[in-house]
Chains A and B, each alone.
Chain A
Amino acid sequence: MAENSSQSPLNSAFQTAGDLGKFALKKGIDVALTAASGGTSKLLQLGAKSIKALSTLSALGGKKEDKDWFLILIGGGLLLFLIIIVTTTLSSFIQEGVNKIATTFRSGDNFIEVTKTVSPSKIENPDLNPEAVFTYTISITAKEKRLSDIDLSETFTVFKENSSRTLTPVHKELTGIAPLPRKIEEIKPRETKIFGYQIVLHPGLEDSVVSNNLTVKANKVEDSLVSKEVKVSATIVIGSPTGCFTFLGNWTEEEKSLELNAITKLLSNANYSNTLCKNPTKPIELIREQKCDFAHADSKNSKIFITNGSNCSSFRSEEIILYTLIHESGHIYSFRNSDKYRKFVNDVHSPFKEKIFLCSYPLGKRIDEDFPETIAIYLMNQYYPNHLWAGCGNKPINLQTDYPNHYNFIINNHIF
Protein backbone atom coordinates (compact mmCIF):
# COMPACT_ATOMS: atom_id res chain seq x y z
CA MET A 1 0.00 0.00 0.00
CA ALA A 2 1.16 3.59 -0.71
CA GLU A 3 1.36 6.60 1.51
CA ASN A 4 1.41 10.21 0.56
CA SER A 5 4.53 11.71 1.97
CA SER A 6 3.53 15.26 1.07
CA GLN A 7 0.30 15.36 3.06
CA SER A 8 -0.39 14.33 6.60
CA PRO A 9 -3.88 15.57 7.47
CA LEU A 10 -4.02 13.42 10.56
CA ASN A 11 -0.94 15.04 11.98
CA SER A 12 -2.72 18.35 11.78
CA ALA A 13 -5.90 16.75 13.08
CA PHE A 14 -4.02 15.39 16.04
CA GLN A 15 -2.30 18.70 16.56
CA THR A 16 -5.66 20.41 16.54
CA ALA A 17 -7.12 17.77 18.80
CA GLY A 18 -4.09 18.17 21.03
CA ASP A 19 -4.50 21.95 21.01
CA LEU A 20 -8.19 21.59 21.78
CA GLY A 21 -7.31 19.19 24.57
CA LYS A 22 -4.75 21.61 25.99
CA PHE A 23 -7.25 24.44 25.67
CA ALA A 24 -9.94 22.39 27.37
CA LEU A 25 -7.57 21.36 30.15
CA LYS A 26 -6.42 24.96 30.64
CA LYS A 27 -10.02 26.11 30.70
CA GLY A 28 -10.86 23.37 33.17
CA ILE A 29 -7.99 24.33 35.43
CA ASP A 30 -9.07 27.98 35.17
CA VAL A 31 -12.61 27.00 36.15
CA ALA A 32 -11.32 24.88 38.98
CA LEU A 33 -8.99 27.60 40.22
CA THR A 34 -11.71 30.21 39.94
CA ALA A 35 -14.02 27.98 41.94
CA ALA A 36 -11.25 27.22 44.33
CA SER A 37 -10.17 30.86 44.62
CA GLY A 38 -13.76 31.78 45.39
CA GLY A 39 -13.62 29.22 48.15
CA THR A 40 -10.16 30.36 49.14
CA SER A 41 -11.20 33.99 49.69
CA LYS A 42 -13.95 32.73 51.98
CA LEU A 43 -11.44 30.51 53.73
CA LEU A 44 -8.99 33.38 54.02
CA GLN A 45 -11.74 35.48 55.50
CA LEU A 46 -12.42 32.62 57.87
CA GLY A 47 -8.70 32.37 58.59
CA ALA A 48 -8.50 36.11 59.25
CA LYS A 49 -11.43 35.83 61.63
CA SER A 50 -9.68 32.91 63.37
CA ILE A 51 -6.47 34.91 63.68
CA LYS A 52 -8.47 37.83 65.05
CA ALA A 53 -10.04 35.42 67.53
CA LEU A 54 -6.60 34.13 68.41
CA SER A 55 -5.36 37.66 68.96
CA THR A 56 -8.26 38.12 71.32
CA LEU A 57 -7.28 34.86 72.96
CA SER A 58 -3.71 36.10 73.18
CA ALA A 59 -4.88 39.34 74.69
CA LEU A 60 -6.77 37.38 77.28
CA GLY A 61 -3.60 35.50 78.22
CA GLY A 62 -1.86 32.14 77.48
CA LYS A 63 1.70 31.09 76.52
CA LYS A 64 3.23 32.39 73.22
CA GLU A 65 4.53 28.86 72.14
CA ASP A 66 1.03 27.41 72.51
CA LYS A 67 -0.38 30.21 70.35
CA ASP A 68 2.30 29.54 67.61
CA TRP A 69 1.46 25.83 67.51
CA PHE A 70 -2.25 26.65 67.40
CA LEU A 71 -1.68 29.02 64.43
CA ILE A 72 0.44 26.41 62.52
CA LEU A 73 -2.28 23.80 63.08
CA ILE A 74 -5.07 26.07 61.82
CA GLY A 75 -3.00 27.25 58.78
CA GLY A 76 -2.05 23.65 57.87
CA GLY A 77 -5.65 22.53 58.13
CA LEU A 78 -6.74 25.39 55.88
CA LEU A 79 -4.04 24.51 53.32
CA LEU A 80 -5.12 20.85 53.32
CA PHE A 81 -8.73 21.90 52.89
CA LEU A 82 -7.76 24.13 49.94
CA ILE A 83 -5.81 21.29 48.23
CA ILE A 84 -8.79 18.94 48.61
CA ILE A 85 -11.16 21.50 47.04
CA VAL A 86 -8.85 22.15 44.05
CA THR A 87 -8.14 18.48 43.32
CA THR A 88 -11.80 17.47 43.66
CA THR A 89 -12.96 20.19 41.27
CA LEU A 90 -10.20 19.34 38.75
CA SER A 91 -10.75 15.57 38.80
CA SER A 92 -14.49 15.93 38.29
CA PHE A 93 -13.79 18.10 35.24
CA ILE A 94 -11.35 15.55 33.73
CA GLN A 95 -13.79 12.72 34.38
CA GLU A 96 -16.50 14.52 32.43
CA GLY A 97 -14.06 14.97 29.50
CA VAL A 98 -13.22 11.25 29.44
CA ASN A 99 -16.83 10.17 29.37
CA LYS A 100 -17.66 12.43 26.43
CA ILE A 101 -15.36 11.38 23.62
CA ALA A 102 -15.27 13.94 20.83
CA THR A 103 -13.58 13.16 17.54
CA THR A 104 -12.43 15.70 14.99
CA PHE A 105 -12.51 14.69 11.33
CA ARG A 106 -10.56 16.81 8.90
CA SER A 107 -10.23 17.22 5.16
CA GLY A 108 -8.84 19.84 2.83
CA ASP A 109 -6.79 20.86 -0.15
CA ASN A 110 -4.62 23.86 -0.98
CA PHE A 111 -7.62 26.20 -0.84
CA ILE A 112 -10.13 24.99 1.75
CA GLU A 113 -9.76 23.28 5.10
CA VAL A 114 -12.78 21.78 6.77
CA THR A 115 -12.97 20.15 10.19
CA LYS A 116 -15.98 18.57 11.74
CA THR A 117 -16.05 17.58 15.39
CA VAL A 118 -18.74 15.37 16.81
CA SER A 119 -19.34 14.94 20.51
CA PRO A 120 -19.84 12.31 21.71
CA SER A 121 -18.52 10.23 18.82
CA LYS A 122 -19.13 6.94 20.61
CA ILE A 123 -22.03 5.78 22.77
CA GLU A 124 -23.27 2.43 24.01
CA ASN A 125 -26.60 0.97 22.89
CA PRO A 126 -28.51 1.75 26.15
CA ASP A 127 -27.52 5.44 25.82
CA LEU A 128 -30.00 5.74 22.91
CA ASN A 129 -32.89 5.28 25.31
CA PRO A 130 -34.93 7.49 25.41
CA GLU A 131 -32.76 9.68 23.18
CA ALA A 132 -29.17 10.69 22.60
CA VAL A 133 -28.03 14.19 21.66
CA PHE A 134 -24.90 14.79 19.57
CA THR A 135 -23.17 18.10 18.96
CA TYR A 136 -21.44 18.87 15.67
CA THR A 137 -18.99 21.76 15.32
CA ILE A 138 -17.82 22.68 11.83
CA SER A 139 -14.97 24.99 10.89
CA ILE A 140 -14.34 26.11 7.33
CA THR A 141 -11.11 27.96 6.58
CA ALA A 142 -10.03 29.70 3.39
CA LYS A 143 -6.31 29.02 3.25
CA GLU A 144 -4.47 31.58 1.09
CA LYS A 145 -7.14 32.79 -1.32
CA ARG A 146 -10.58 34.35 -1.01
CA LEU A 147 -13.39 31.87 -1.52
CA SER A 148 -16.86 32.97 -2.56
CA ASP A 149 -20.24 31.59 -3.61
CA ILE A 150 -19.75 28.57 -1.35
CA ASP A 151 -22.36 25.80 -1.37
CA LEU A 152 -22.74 23.52 1.62
CA SER A 153 -24.62 20.26 1.61
CA GLU A 154 -24.68 17.33 3.97
CA THR A 155 -26.23 13.91 4.28
CA PHE A 156 -26.60 11.45 7.11
CA THR A 157 -26.16 7.74 6.44
CA VAL A 158 -26.71 4.85 8.80
CA PHE A 159 -24.56 1.80 8.30
CA LYS A 160 -25.87 -1.31 10.01
CA GLU A 161 -25.26 -5.01 9.35
CA ASN A 162 -23.36 -4.45 6.08
CA SER A 163 -26.02 -2.24 4.53
CA SER A 164 -26.65 1.47 4.58
CA ARG A 165 -29.58 3.88 4.33
CA THR A 166 -30.02 7.63 4.55
CA LEU A 167 -31.22 9.21 7.77
CA THR A 168 -32.96 12.50 8.49
CA PRO A 169 -32.35 13.21 12.18
CA VAL A 170 -34.04 15.99 14.16
CA HIS A 171 -31.79 19.09 14.31
CA LYS A 172 -31.47 21.48 17.26
CA GLU A 173 -29.81 24.88 17.22
CA LEU A 174 -26.94 25.67 19.58
CA THR A 175 -26.98 28.91 21.54
CA GLY A 176 -24.15 31.29 20.67
CA ILE A 177 -23.09 29.49 17.51
CA ALA A 178 -24.53 29.87 14.02
CA PRO A 179 -26.28 26.89 12.44
CA LEU A 180 -24.79 25.42 9.26
CA PRO A 181 -26.06 27.48 6.31
CA ARG A 182 -26.73 26.19 2.79
CA LYS A 183 -24.61 28.96 1.31
CA ILE A 184 -21.76 31.23 2.43
CA GLU A 185 -21.17 34.38 0.39
CA GLU A 186 -17.50 34.77 1.13
CA ILE A 187 -14.60 33.61 3.31
CA LYS A 188 -11.56 35.88 3.32
CA PRO A 189 -8.02 34.45 3.17
CA ARG A 190 -7.05 32.80 6.46
CA GLU A 191 -10.53 33.45 7.85
CA THR A 192 -12.36 30.62 9.63
CA LYS A 193 -16.13 30.37 9.86
CA ILE A 194 -17.54 28.27 12.66
CA PHE A 195 -20.96 26.64 12.77
CA GLY A 196 -22.67 24.13 14.99
CA TYR A 197 -25.84 22.22 15.69
CA GLN A 198 -27.16 19.20 17.51
CA ILE A 199 -28.99 16.10 16.34
CA VAL A 200 -31.17 13.72 18.31
CA LEU A 201 -31.09 9.98 17.77
CA HIS A 202 -33.51 7.40 19.16
CA PRO A 203 -33.58 3.62 19.76
CA GLY A 204 -33.48 1.48 16.62
CA LEU A 205 -29.92 2.44 15.71
CA GLU A 206 -28.18 -0.04 18.01
CA ASP A 207 -24.84 -1.39 16.70
CA SER A 208 -24.66 1.08 13.85
CA VAL A 209 -22.50 3.88 12.51
CA VAL A 210 -24.14 7.21 11.75
CA SER A 211 -22.04 8.96 9.16
CA ASN A 212 -22.41 12.64 8.42
CA ASN A 213 -20.98 13.67 5.07
CA LEU A 214 -20.45 17.36 4.47
CA THR A 215 -19.53 18.79 1.06
CA VAL A 216 -18.11 22.30 0.85
CA LYS A 217 -17.94 23.64 -2.70
CA ALA A 218 -16.45 27.04 -3.41
CA ASN A 219 -17.62 28.13 -6.85
CA LYS A 220 -15.14 30.99 -6.99
CA VAL A 221 -11.51 31.15 -5.87
CA GLU A 222 -10.42 34.82 -5.86
CA ASP A 223 -11.95 35.95 -9.17
CA SER A 224 -11.55 32.67 -10.98
CA LEU A 225 -14.62 30.52 -11.66
CA VAL A 226 -12.69 27.30 -11.04
CA SER A 227 -14.62 25.49 -8.35
CA LYS A 228 -12.98 23.69 -5.45
CA GLU A 229 -14.69 20.99 -3.45
CA VAL A 230 -13.83 19.35 -0.14
CA LYS A 231 -15.72 16.54 1.56
CA VAL A 232 -15.49 15.58 5.19
CA SER A 233 -17.37 12.95 7.08
CA ALA A 234 -17.83 12.57 10.80
CA THR A 235 -19.07 9.36 12.31
CA ILE A 236 -20.89 8.39 15.46
CA VAL A 237 -20.35 4.84 16.64
CA ILE A 238 -23.27 3.26 18.48
CA GLY A 239 -22.58 -0.05 20.23
CA SER A 240 -20.38 -2.44 18.22
CA PRO A 241 -21.09 -2.00 14.53
CA THR A 242 -18.24 -3.67 12.69
CA GLY A 243 -19.96 -5.46 9.81
CA CYS A 244 -17.76 -8.35 8.77
CA PHE A 245 -14.75 -6.69 10.43
CA THR A 246 -13.56 -7.34 13.94
CA PHE A 247 -10.99 -5.35 15.95
CA LEU A 248 -8.00 -7.07 17.53
CA GLY A 249 -4.95 -5.60 19.23
CA ASN A 250 -4.49 -2.34 21.08
CA TRP A 251 -6.86 0.08 19.37
CA THR A 252 -7.66 3.37 21.07
CA GLU A 253 -11.25 4.58 20.91
CA GLU A 254 -10.23 7.40 18.58
CA GLU A 255 -8.38 5.04 16.22
CA LYS A 256 -11.39 2.72 16.21
CA SER A 257 -13.64 5.63 15.43
CA LEU A 258 -11.47 6.69 12.48
CA GLU A 259 -11.27 3.10 11.25
CA LEU A 260 -15.04 2.64 11.55
CA ASN A 261 -15.47 5.79 9.50
CA ALA A 262 -13.48 4.06 6.75
CA ILE A 263 -15.35 0.75 7.18
CA THR A 264 -18.63 2.61 6.76
CA LYS A 265 -17.47 4.18 3.51
CA LEU A 266 -16.13 0.89 2.20
CA LEU A 267 -19.12 -1.27 3.07
CA SER A 268 -21.64 1.32 1.91
CA ASN A 269 -20.88 0.01 -1.58
CA ALA A 270 -23.40 -2.82 -1.68
CA ASN A 271 -21.88 -5.05 -4.39
CA TYR A 272 -18.41 -4.90 -2.94
CA SER A 273 -19.67 -5.34 0.61
CA ASN A 274 -21.80 -8.38 -0.24
CA THR A 275 -18.99 -10.05 -2.14
CA LEU A 276 -16.30 -9.23 0.40
CA CYS A 277 -18.39 -10.33 3.37
CA LYS A 278 -19.93 -13.40 1.77
CA ASN A 279 -18.12 -15.60 4.26
CA PRO A 280 -19.68 -14.27 7.47
CA THR A 281 -18.47 -17.15 9.64
CA LYS A 282 -14.94 -15.86 9.14
CA PRO A 283 -14.82 -12.16 9.99
CA ILE A 284 -11.98 -10.03 8.72
CA GLU A 285 -9.65 -9.32 11.63
CA LEU A 286 -8.30 -5.77 11.82
CA ILE A 287 -5.16 -6.14 13.89
CA ARG A 288 -3.55 -3.00 15.30
CA GLU A 289 0.24 -3.10 15.27
CA GLN A 290 2.34 -0.29 16.72
CA LYS A 291 4.95 -0.55 14.00
CA CYS A 292 6.60 1.83 11.56
CA ASP A 293 5.64 -0.22 8.54
CA PHE A 294 3.23 -0.54 5.68
CA ALA A 295 -0.08 -2.18 6.46
CA HIS A 296 -0.32 -5.73 5.17
CA ALA A 297 -2.83 -8.51 4.64
CA ASP A 298 -2.90 -12.25 5.15
CA SER A 299 -5.64 -13.02 2.67
CA LYS A 300 -5.82 -16.76 3.38
CA ASN A 301 -6.49 -16.15 7.07
CA SER A 302 -8.65 -13.01 6.60
CA LYS A 303 -6.31 -10.77 8.57
CA ILE A 304 -5.43 -7.13 7.97
CA PHE A 305 -2.58 -5.59 9.96
CA ILE A 306 -2.87 -1.83 10.51
CA THR A 307 0.34 -0.03 11.46
CA ASN A 308 1.28 3.58 12.09
CA GLY A 309 2.54 4.02 8.56
CA SER A 310 5.99 3.68 7.07
CA ASN A 311 7.16 7.11 8.26
CA CYS A 312 5.76 6.32 11.71
CA SER A 313 4.87 9.93 12.45
CA SER A 314 1.46 9.02 13.85
CA PHE A 315 -1.61 6.94 13.17
CA ARG A 316 -2.75 7.37 9.61
CA SER A 317 -4.83 10.26 8.26
CA GLU A 318 -8.52 9.86 7.44
CA GLU A 319 -7.70 9.55 3.73
CA ILE A 320 -4.85 7.09 4.21
CA ILE A 321 -6.90 5.03 6.67
CA LEU A 322 -9.60 4.64 4.01
CA TYR A 323 -7.08 3.91 1.25
CA THR A 324 -5.29 1.34 3.42
CA LEU A 325 -8.49 -0.41 4.39
CA ILE A 326 -9.73 -0.63 0.79
CA HIS A 327 -6.37 -1.84 -0.54
CA GLU A 328 -5.92 -4.50 2.14
CA SER A 329 -9.55 -5.60 1.89
CA GLY A 330 -8.90 -5.97 -1.85
CA HIS A 331 -6.40 -8.74 -1.09
CA ILE A 332 -9.06 -10.63 0.86
CA TYR A 333 -11.62 -9.89 -1.86
CA SER A 334 -9.29 -11.37 -4.49
CA PHE A 335 -8.71 -14.46 -2.37
CA ARG A 336 -12.40 -14.98 -1.71
CA ASN A 337 -13.30 -14.27 -5.36
CA SER A 338 -10.70 -15.97 -7.54
CA ASP A 339 -12.97 -15.75 -10.58
CA LYS A 340 -12.85 -11.93 -10.39
CA TYR A 341 -9.09 -12.04 -9.93
CA ARG A 342 -8.52 -14.28 -12.96
CA LYS A 343 -10.75 -11.94 -14.99
CA PHE A 344 -8.53 -9.06 -13.87
CA VAL A 345 -5.39 -11.00 -14.79
CA ASN A 346 -6.83 -11.75 -18.21
CA ASP A 347 -8.52 -8.45 -18.99
CA VAL A 348 -5.91 -6.04 -17.65
CA HIS A 349 -2.57 -7.84 -17.70
CA SER A 350 -2.60 -10.19 -20.69
CA PRO A 351 0.45 -9.61 -22.90
CA PHE A 352 -1.76 -8.28 -25.70
CA LYS A 353 -3.01 -5.48 -23.46
CA GLU A 354 -0.83 -2.64 -22.25
CA LYS A 355 1.00 -4.03 -19.24
CA ILE A 356 0.49 -1.01 -17.01
CA PHE A 357 0.52 -0.97 -13.23
CA LEU A 358 -1.01 1.83 -11.17
CA CYS A 359 1.59 4.43 -10.19
CA SER A 360 0.16 4.81 -6.66
CA TYR A 361 1.51 1.48 -5.42
CA PRO A 362 5.16 1.98 -4.53
CA LEU A 363 6.39 -1.52 -3.70
CA GLY A 364 6.91 -3.10 -7.10
CA LYS A 365 4.87 -4.14 -10.09
CA ARG A 366 2.84 -7.20 -9.22
CA ILE A 367 -0.56 -8.24 -10.49
CA ASP A 368 -1.68 -9.36 -7.03
CA GLU A 369 -0.99 -5.81 -5.77
CA ASP A 370 -2.40 -4.08 -8.83
CA PHE A 371 -5.80 -5.72 -8.24
CA PRO A 372 -6.41 -4.30 -4.72
CA GLU A 373 -4.80 -1.03 -5.83
CA THR A 374 -7.33 -0.72 -8.66
CA ILE A 375 -10.17 -1.22 -6.21
CA ALA A 376 -8.61 1.32 -3.82
CA ILE A 377 -8.03 4.01 -6.43
CA TYR A 378 -11.52 3.57 -7.91
CA LEU A 379 -13.11 4.22 -4.50
CA MET A 380 -10.63 6.95 -3.54
CA ASN A 381 -11.61 8.72 -6.78
CA GLN A 382 -15.16 8.84 -5.41
CA TYR A 383 -14.27 10.09 -1.94
CA TYR A 384 -11.03 12.06 -2.42
CA PRO A 385 -10.63 12.82 -6.13
CA ASN A 386 -7.90 15.38 -5.51
CA HIS A 387 -5.66 13.17 -3.42
CA LEU A 388 -2.05 13.22 -4.58
CA TRP A 389 -0.07 9.99 -4.58
CA ALA A 390 3.64 9.69 -4.03
CA GLY A 391 4.98 8.17 -7.24
CA CYS A 392 2.32 9.70 -9.49
CA GLY A 393 3.66 13.25 -9.76
CA ASN A 394 1.68 16.36 -8.96
CA LYS A 395 -1.51 15.25 -10.67
CA PRO A 396 -4.29 13.26 -8.98
CA ILE A 397 -5.11 9.90 -10.57
CA ASN A 398 -8.25 9.68 -12.65
CA LEU A 399 -8.74 5.93 -13.07
CA GLN A 400 -11.17 6.30 -15.96
CA THR A 401 -8.92 8.41 -18.16
CA ASP A 402 -5.46 7.39 -16.93
CA TYR A 403 -6.04 3.63 -16.68
CA PRO A 404 -9.03 2.73 -18.90
CA ASN A 405 -8.40 -1.05 -18.79
CA HIS A 406 -8.39 -1.00 -15.00
CA TYR A 407 -11.47 1.21 -14.89
CA ASN A 408 -13.36 -0.95 -17.40
CA PHE A 409 -12.59 -4.03 -15.36
CA ILE A 410 -14.27 -2.45 -12.32
CA ILE A 411 -17.31 -1.32 -14.34
CA ASN A 412 -17.76 -4.41 -16.53
CA ASN A 413 -17.46 -6.79 -13.60
CA HIS A 414 -19.77 -4.83 -11.27
CA ILE A 415 -17.22 -4.70 -8.48
CA PHE A 416 -19.11 -1.79 -6.90
Chain B
Amino acid sequence: MNFLKKYWLLIFLAFLATVLLIVKILLKTAQTLPVGENSWKGITPNISTKNELEKNLGQPINLEKKEEQTILYYPSENEDWPAEIYVSNKNNKVELIKNLNPFSNENYQYFINKFGPPNKELFGPHQGAGFSVFVFLDKGVAIVSNPESGIVLEVWYFSPTTLENFLKFFGKELTLTPTERF
Protein backbone atom coordinates (compact mmCIF):
# COMPACT_ATOMS: atom_id res chain seq x y z
CA MET B 1 0.00 0.00 0.00
CA ASN B 2 2.84 2.30 0.91
CA PHE B 3 4.36 1.45 -2.47
CA LEU B 4 1.25 2.71 -4.30
CA LYS B 5 1.11 5.87 -2.20
CA LYS B 6 4.78 6.52 -2.70
CA TYR B 7 4.93 5.94 -6.47
CA TRP B 8 1.33 6.77 -7.58
CA LEU B 9 2.53 9.47 -9.94
CA LEU B 10 4.98 7.16 -11.67
CA ILE B 11 2.35 4.41 -12.03
CA PHE B 12 -0.18 6.93 -13.44
CA LEU B 13 2.33 8.18 -15.99
CA ALA B 14 3.19 4.58 -17.03
CA PHE B 15 -0.54 3.81 -17.48
CA LEU B 16 -1.07 6.98 -19.50
CA ALA B 17 1.89 6.16 -21.72
CA THR B 18 0.50 2.65 -22.36
CA VAL B 19 -2.93 4.05 -23.26
CA LEU B 20 -1.40 6.61 -25.60
CA LEU B 21 0.71 3.88 -27.24
CA ILE B 22 -2.35 1.69 -27.82
CA VAL B 23 -4.31 4.64 -29.24
CA LYS B 24 -1.44 5.50 -31.58
CA ILE B 25 -1.19 1.89 -32.83
CA LEU B 26 -4.94 1.79 -33.44
CA LEU B 27 -4.91 5.08 -35.29
CA LYS B 28 -2.02 3.96 -37.49
CA THR B 29 -3.82 0.72 -38.38
CA ALA B 30 -6.96 2.67 -39.27
CA GLN B 31 -4.97 4.97 -41.53
CA THR B 32 -3.16 2.22 -43.44
CA LEU B 33 -6.24 -0.03 -43.84
CA PRO B 34 -7.38 1.21 -47.26
CA VAL B 35 -3.88 1.09 -48.72
CA GLY B 36 -4.27 -2.59 -49.63
CA GLU B 37 -7.47 -2.03 -51.63
CA ASN B 38 -7.35 1.24 -53.51
CA SER B 39 -3.63 1.84 -53.70
CA TRP B 40 -1.14 1.05 -56.40
CA LYS B 41 2.55 0.59 -55.53
CA GLY B 42 1.92 2.24 -52.14
CA ILE B 43 0.24 5.30 -53.69
CA THR B 44 -3.28 5.98 -52.41
CA PRO B 45 -5.68 8.51 -53.95
CA ASN B 46 -6.65 11.43 -51.73
CA ILE B 47 -3.78 10.58 -49.34
CA SER B 48 -0.55 10.47 -51.35
CA THR B 49 0.89 13.72 -52.65
CA LYS B 50 2.95 14.47 -55.74
CA ASN B 51 6.05 14.69 -53.57
CA GLU B 52 5.40 11.23 -52.07
CA LEU B 53 4.77 9.91 -55.56
CA GLU B 54 8.13 11.14 -56.81
CA LYS B 55 9.81 10.00 -53.61
CA ASN B 56 8.40 6.45 -53.95
CA LEU B 57 8.38 5.96 -57.74
CA GLY B 58 10.92 8.49 -58.98
CA GLN B 59 10.46 10.79 -61.94
CA PRO B 60 7.61 9.94 -64.35
CA ILE B 61 8.43 8.79 -67.88
CA ASN B 62 6.02 11.33 -69.26
CA LEU B 63 3.87 14.15 -68.03
CA GLU B 64 0.75 15.80 -69.40
CA LYS B 65 -0.41 19.06 -67.86
CA LYS B 66 -4.10 19.85 -68.06
CA GLU B 67 -6.18 22.70 -66.62
CA GLU B 68 -7.14 21.06 -63.33
CA GLN B 69 -4.92 17.98 -63.24
CA THR B 70 -1.52 16.76 -64.26
CA ILE B 71 -1.22 13.22 -65.60
CA LEU B 72 2.03 11.51 -64.68
CA TYR B 73 2.98 8.31 -66.52
CA TYR B 74 4.89 5.63 -64.62
CA PRO B 75 6.09 2.21 -65.82
CA SER B 76 3.68 -0.59 -64.95
CA GLU B 77 3.79 -4.40 -65.05
CA ASN B 78 3.09 -4.18 -68.81
CA GLU B 79 6.00 -2.68 -70.73
CA ASP B 80 3.66 -1.39 -73.44
CA TRP B 81 1.40 0.49 -71.05
CA PRO B 82 2.45 3.03 -68.41
CA ALA B 83 0.12 3.66 -65.47
CA GLU B 84 -1.63 7.03 -65.49
CA ILE B 85 -1.63 8.96 -62.20
CA TYR B 86 -3.86 12.01 -62.06
CA VAL B 87 -2.66 14.68 -59.60
CA SER B 88 -4.71 17.75 -58.63
CA ASN B 89 -3.07 21.04 -59.60
CA LYS B 90 -4.77 22.68 -56.60
CA ASN B 91 -3.49 20.62 -53.68
CA ASN B 92 -0.93 18.34 -55.37
CA LYS B 93 -2.80 15.24 -54.12
CA VAL B 94 -3.22 12.07 -56.19
CA GLU B 95 -6.89 11.86 -57.31
CA LEU B 96 -7.02 8.85 -59.63
CA ILE B 97 -4.74 6.04 -60.73
CA LYS B 98 -5.43 4.10 -63.94
CA ASN B 99 -3.42 0.93 -64.33
CA LEU B 100 -3.90 -0.10 -67.96
CA ASN B 101 -2.73 -3.66 -68.26
CA PRO B 102 -4.68 -5.76 -70.75
CA PHE B 103 -2.63 -8.84 -69.87
CA SER B 104 -3.11 -8.77 -66.10
CA ASN B 105 -3.64 -12.15 -64.44
CA GLU B 106 -6.34 -10.62 -62.28
CA ASN B 107 -9.61 -11.45 -64.01
CA TYR B 108 -13.21 -10.38 -63.40
CA GLN B 109 -13.84 -13.21 -60.94
CA TYR B 110 -10.75 -12.24 -58.92
CA PHE B 111 -12.29 -8.82 -58.19
CA ILE B 112 -15.73 -10.30 -57.48
CA ASN B 113 -14.21 -12.74 -55.00
CA LYS B 114 -12.27 -9.91 -53.39
CA PHE B 115 -14.90 -7.15 -53.25
CA GLY B 116 -18.25 -8.87 -53.82
CA PRO B 117 -20.65 -7.73 -56.54
CA PRO B 118 -19.94 -4.30 -58.06
CA ASN B 119 -22.14 -1.35 -57.09
CA LYS B 120 -22.70 -0.32 -60.69
CA GLU B 121 -22.01 -1.28 -64.31
CA LEU B 122 -21.19 1.73 -66.47
CA PHE B 123 -20.54 1.98 -70.21
CA GLY B 124 -17.51 3.56 -71.80
CA PRO B 125 -14.89 3.48 -74.54
CA HIS B 126 -14.65 -0.32 -74.90
CA GLN B 127 -18.39 -0.97 -74.81
CA GLY B 128 -18.51 -2.01 -78.47
CA ALA B 129 -16.36 -5.02 -77.61
CA GLY B 130 -18.48 -5.94 -74.59
CA PHE B 131 -16.25 -4.30 -71.96
CA SER B 132 -18.03 -2.33 -69.21
CA VAL B 133 -16.75 -0.34 -66.25
CA PHE B 134 -17.65 -2.16 -63.01
CA VAL B 135 -17.41 0.15 -59.99
CA PHE B 136 -16.80 -0.88 -56.38
CA LEU B 137 -17.61 2.51 -54.89
CA ASP B 138 -16.93 1.76 -51.22
CA LYS B 139 -13.61 0.11 -52.07
CA GLY B 140 -12.38 2.90 -54.35
CA VAL B 141 -11.78 0.49 -57.25
CA ALA B 142 -13.23 0.19 -60.76
CA ILE B 143 -12.36 -2.34 -63.45
CA VAL B 144 -12.86 -2.28 -67.23
CA SER B 145 -13.82 -5.86 -67.97
CA ASN B 146 -15.76 -8.25 -70.16
CA PRO B 147 -17.38 -10.63 -67.63
CA GLU B 148 -17.96 -13.35 -70.27
CA SER B 149 -14.27 -13.72 -71.06
CA GLY B 150 -13.15 -12.48 -67.64
CA ILE B 151 -10.51 -10.23 -69.24
CA VAL B 152 -9.72 -7.03 -67.34
CA LEU B 153 -8.23 -4.23 -69.45
CA GLU B 154 -7.86 -1.53 -66.80
CA VAL B 155 -8.02 -1.10 -63.01
CA TRP B 156 -8.83 2.34 -61.60
CA TYR B 157 -8.08 3.42 -58.02
CA PHE B 158 -9.82 6.39 -56.39
CA SER B 159 -10.95 7.51 -52.95
CA PRO B 160 -14.20 5.72 -51.93
CA THR B 161 -17.09 7.89 -53.04
CA THR B 162 -20.69 8.00 -54.22
CA LEU B 163 -21.82 7.11 -57.77
CA GLU B 164 -22.72 10.74 -58.42
CA ASN B 165 -19.24 11.94 -57.47
CA PHE B 166 -17.57 9.07 -59.30
CA LEU B 167 -19.34 10.06 -62.53
CA LYS B 168 -18.64 13.75 -61.89
CA PHE B 169 -14.93 13.42 -61.17
CA PHE B 170 -13.66 10.17 -62.70
CA GLY B 171 -16.20 8.95 -65.23
CA LYS B 172 -17.23 11.94 -67.31
CA GLU B 173 -17.13 9.87 -70.51
CA LEU B 174 -19.14 7.00 -69.00
CA THR B 175 -22.90 6.44 -69.35
CA LEU B 176 -25.44 4.65 -67.16
CA THR B 177 -26.98 2.80 -70.11
CA PRO B 178 -25.34 1.32 -73.24
CA THR B 179 -25.12 3.61 -76.25
CA GLU B 180 -25.57 2.35 -79.83
CA ARG B 181 -22.31 1.28 -81.46
CA PHE B 182 -22.24 2.14 -85.17
Contact = CB atoms under 8 A, between A and B. Distances in A.
B125 interface: yes
A342 B103 contact: yes
Contacts of A371: 128-129
Contact of B80 (A341, A352, A367): A352
A363 interface: yes
Contacts of A298: 181
A16 interface: no
Nearest to A295: B182
B120 interface: no
A150 interface: no
A339 B73 CA distance: 25
Interface in A315-350: 331, 334-335, 338-339, 341-343, 345-347, 350
B73 A345 contact: no
Tell which of A345, A350, A366, A369 has the most Cβ of chain B within 10 Å: A345
B153 A1 contact: no
Interface string B69-96: 0000100001011100000000000000
B181 A338 contact: no
B126 interface: yes
B153 A342 contact: yes
Contacts of B153: 342, 345
Interface string A345-377: 111001111000000000100111101100000
Contact of B129 (A334, A347, A350, A352): A334
B73 to A, nearest CB: 7
Nearest to B129: A334
Contacts of B149: 338-339
Contacts of A363: 182
Interface string B142-166: 0000101101010000000000000
Contact of B151 (A295, A299, A339): A339
B181 A331 contact: yes
A296 B180 contact: yes
Interface string A268-300: 000000000000000000000000001111111
A300 B147 CA distance: 11
B80 A350 contact: yes
B173 to A, nearest CB: 10
Nearest to B182: A294
A369 B181 contact: yes
B129 A351 contact: no
A126 to B, nearest CB: 41
A331 B81 contact: no
A346 B102 contact: yes
A304 to B, nearest CB: 11
Given A299-B181, A331-B181, A368-B181, A341 B129 contact: yes
Given A335-B130, A338-B149, A367-B125, A296 B181 contact: yes
A287 to B, nearest CB: 13
Interface string A10-52: 0000000000000000000000000000000000000000000
A298 B180 CA distance: 7
B182 A299 contact: no
B151 A338 contact: yes
B48 interface: no
B182 A369 contact: yes
B126 A346 contact: no
B46 interface: no
Contacts of B103: 342, 346
B127 interface: yes
Contacts of A331: 128-129, 181
Interface in B122-139: 125-131
Contacts of A345: 102, 126, 153
Contacts of A299: 128-130, 181
A346 B131 CA distance: 15
B128 A372 contact: yes
Contacts of A366: 125, 128
Contact of B130 (A294, A334, A350): A334
Nearest to B179: A296
A1 B82 CA distance: 31
B92 to A, nearest CB: 24
A338 B129 contact: yes
B100 to A, nearest CB: 8
Nearest to A343: B102
A236 B80 CA distance: 48
A353 B102 CA distance: 15
Nearest to A350: B80
Interface in B20-39: none
Given A338-B129, A345-B102, 9 more contacts: A299-B128, A334-B129, A338-B149, A342-B153, A347-B80, A351-B82, A368-B129, A369-B181, A371-B129
